Amino acid sequence: MALEVSSSQQPAADWDETQCKAALAHLEKLQEQASLLPRCCRWPPDFDIVGRTTSYDPSHNTTSQDRAHDPGSILHGFKAAWQSQETQSILEHTKESQKADPDLSACVRVPKYGWVDILDNEKEAGAVEKGDQIAMLNNEEVDITGIVDAFKHEHPKFKVNIEADNQLINIMFRLPTLLMRFRVLRRKETNGNYKLDAECVGKMPLFPAITRCLASRPRPNDLKYLLDMIAAYTNTRRASCAKCTRLVDSSGMTPAARRSKRVESPEGASNLVWEALHERCL
């Protein structure tokens, strides 16, 4: 697939943070599409008993989701995304940047995933400037009760209560072989700012690992996001790692982290899903 960039697609010499995030999010989506390409090699024709072949008809007896994942749709979608002006502009900018500075050692510190979610979250927040979420959290009038009530409504089987003048939230839910207990503390620091601390309560080795993964979460000052992350632990001990695909790591630990990701449905809608990850795979 040839790389052709017209003069109108030439990027500016320098990109700001917003442009870089948008480019990384676009490449993350492209990477998702590329991961489906091996499926295009796994659809052999159907053979009847006398050796004649019949081609696969993706429109026969299939749902819209089936058609979205048939080889033709996958290949067409990736080709269109690859040849898009946005992709070619990013590739050209990358080429020019590498000419200016061939040292790529800093690239290893850039996360491969999560940029789509970051960009969507910023859009949902009205592209607010950095620090606005902290200001909202530091507001004494934050509707903690309203956020928790909405969470309880979404998860009626959870036991949730608020203590200490709305500063301590206790969450408990049962799994087939496990009782999960979480504690969220909203505490005021010496500088007057508020901080959200989350803990998975218990003595099992998995629970401190979950606490550490909660502490390293994105959007640390967003209470609703934290509660949704806690709710994603309902598949504890059953969910395989989204990165290494294994249920347990080399230490025998199941995935202790949960991270959100935006996924486009066949109809084009963007949905938020939660993935399980080993602490070592973060």
Q: How many CB atoms lie within 10 A of CB 254?
A: 19
Helix axes 223-231, 206-215, angle to 10 degrees: 150
8 Å CB contact between 25 and 19: no
Q: With H, G, I as helix, E, B as strand and everything else as coil, classify residue 116.
A: helix
Nearest to 214 by CA among 79, 223, 111: 223
pLDDT, averaged per 10 consecutive residues of the chain (282 residues), comes to: 41 70 82 75 49 44 48 78 86 84 76 72 51 47 83 95 88 92 89 87 92 92 93 93 92 93 76 92 90
d(CA 27, CA 32): 9
pLDDT of residue 139: 52
Domain boundaries, the chain: 15-110, 133-281
Structure tokens belonging to residue 35: 């991961």
